[in-house]
Amino acid sequence: MHILFLGDVVGRTGRDTVAAALPELRARLNIELAVVNAENASHGFGLAPDMARTLFAAGADVLTLGNHSWDRKEIIPYLAETPRLLRPLNYPPGTPGAGSVVVELPDGRRALVLSAMGRLFMDALDCPFRATAVALAKYRLGTSVAAIVADFHAEATSEKMAFGHSFDGQVSVIVGSHTHCPSADHQILPGGTAFQSDAGMCGDYDSVIGMEKAGAAARFWRKMPGERLQPAEGATTVCGTFVVTDDATGLATRIEPVRLGGRLSPAMPVV
C-alpha cells in the first residue's frame, strides 16, 4: 500500500496549497491512503468544518487534530458526526469524536488510522501509550487490517521515539506531528514499522513555526503577551512522509520524506 502523511497544515496559504497539491501527489505517488494533520488550518489555531470539507474534497482520506482540536468551537458537532476526522484518542472518555477510524479502500482493503497526543510539555491527558495499546488490541496488522497509520502529536522527540519503539512491529507507520520542523530520522525500525519523529508543516518556513516572525520573536524578547499570532503567508512548503507497505504483512518496506515548493530543499520519491 502506498501511504502519504502530510504534516500540520498552517493557515490559509497552507490549506490552499495542500488542497491544490494533494490531487497531483496522489496521482504522482500512486497514493492509496492519504492522512493530513489539519489542527492549525484555521489561522494557525484549530479547524473549521468548511476547511475540513475542502481538504476531504482534495483527496484526504483522514484528517487528524491535536492540542488545538477545540480552538474552533463549531468543529465539535462536525467532529462528532464525521468519523474520518480524528482528535487524539487519549482525551478522557466522553470527549466528542473518536481517536481512530477504519477506512475501507476502493479495492476492499481496510486501513486503521489513529491519532494520539503526547504529554511531555503538552496538556495533561490520559496516557497515550496505554490508550494506543487498547486501540490496537482490536486489530491484527496484515489480517483484519492491511495497514495501520499512527499520528503521534507530541512536543518531545524522546517521547516520540519511545512511542515508535513501543509499537514497532504492530503498526505500519508512526509519524510525529506538532513541532512543524521536518526531522531527518525517517527509518524502518527493527520490527518493520516506518518511523519519522516529525513530518514537518505545510506552511511558510520564512516564519517561526508558521507564524509571522516579528510578533513571534517579540514574545521571546519581551516575555509579554502581544497581539494574537498570525500565520505567515509566503510561499508554502508541503511537507510529509511517503510510506510503502508489504501487502502480506502490512509492515513497511520503504519510507521517504516529501517536500514540495517553498523554501526548503525539495524531496520527492520516485515511484
Residue 76: closest CA among 101, 49, 56: 49
Whole-angstrom Cα distance, residue 136 to residue 21?
32
By the 8 A CB rule, do 37 and 10 touch? Answer: no
* Burial zone of 106 (CB within 10 Å; 0-12 exposed, 13-18 middle, 19+ buried): exposed
Q: Which residues are catalytic?
A: 68
Q: Which residues of 251-260 are buried (b: 16+ CB within 10 A; e: fewer)?
A: bbeebbbbbb
